[in-house]
Amino acid sequence: MSKRIEMPGFIKPQLANLKSKAPKGDQWLHEIKYDGYRVQVHLNRGRKKVFTRNGLDWTKRFTEIASALAIQGEAIIDGEVVVVHGGRTNFSELQAELAAGRQGRLVYYAFDLLWRNGDLRKLPQIERKQLLLDLLGENDIELAVLFSEHLIGDGQKMFEHAAKLNWEGIISKRADAPYRSGRNENWLKIKAVQKGKFPVVGFVKDPTGVPALDLGKQEGNDLVYMGKVGTGWSRTVSSQIRKQLDTVVSPKSKLTKTIRKPKATWVEPRFFANIEYRDITSEGLLRASSFKGLSRKDES
């Protein structure tokens, strides 16, 4: 009689390499890229554990997801915990729910099965996904757990559709590849970015340039605060920005609603910053913003 293989502890997750375009061909499957927390669920004969991507035990934070996975025997499921807001996953909303200790809005998108009464990692991706779908279906698993659907074929079309819907992007996976911990070319991520022009309302000084710009947005008659940008320029460009903004310094903020920014030097909103960003948070601030250029109001 063969000896039963012991179920492993936390498995380092497989990670995706960033690419600018989605791959073509039927050897790839494409999933929505969810904006949440990567989570690995371990089900071991009634005992349940939930790990973050770094192996932290967050079982207590995700008890409702663990409870929804009423599966006998052994299984290790890989996926992403999200909050869906406005038709897409929203990381800021997720953080707010976790900070408040609430779980009612959390959803677990399961996208891979690493273990089912034995190691599945050597199986092709497409087979692991089918086994996961069968496992969830056979056990009548419902909310807060969903199967992460995929498309096979033209990933660029799916990416363009995702970008139009303001999703974060897509993950493309080799259908025939095994599961390999760490970052590799079998999983690729293609991110959608949003672009916009935002009036510069202030800046933070350093001796030669600007470590950060404060940005606003015109909403009707109101000029509202949109947060900071602090990346995307060289030291030379930082110095050029500073020279331009020094010509429009204002004694007070031009924002409609006063905000406390002790380090800010306020300016007349005569310059626009071209910004790429991932999202707008639930507080109305730009998330993951990057500076791409500066133009005068009369040039925009």
* Model confidence pLDDT, tens digit, residues 263-290: 899 999 999 999 988 888 878 899 889 9
Among 162, 191, 220, residue at a domain's last position: 191
Tokens of 178: 């095994």
Q: Residue 179's pLDDT is what? A: 98
C-alpha span between 118 and 212 (Å, rounded): 52
156 torsion bin: left (phi>0), alpha (psi -120 to 50), beta (else): alpha
| pLDDT tens figures, 117-136 | 999 999 999 999 999 999 99
| pLDDT tens figures, 26-66 | 999 999 999 899 999 999 999 999 999 999 999 999 999 99
Residue with structure tokens 């096979």? 152
Q: Is the backbone peptide bond immediately before 177 cis, with ω within 30 degrees of 0?
A: no
CATH of the domain at 254: 2.40.50.140
- DSSP assignment, residue 78? E
- Please say whether the beta carbons of 32 and 111 come within 8 A: no
C-alpha span between 155 and 171 (Å, rounded): 9
- Which domain does 209 fall in, by range? 194-299
| pLDDT tens figures, 175-211 | 999 999 999 999 999 988 888 999 999 999 999 899 9
Structural element, H or E, at residue 296: strand 290-296
Tokens of 45: 């004969």
My answer on whether 167 and 149 are in the same domain is yes
Q: Residue 279's pLDDT is what? A: 80
* Residue 294 included in any domain: yes
* Residue 3 confidence (pLDDT) above 70: no
Task: Look at 180 and 233; give whichever has higher pLDDT.
Answer: 180
My answer on whether 151 and 267 are in the same domain is no
* Residue 285 included in any domain: yes
Least Cα distance to 213 among 294, 283, 284, 278 occurs for 294
Least Cα distance to 153 among 29, 19, 22 occurs for 29
The domain total for the chain is 2
Annotated catalytic sites, by residue? 33
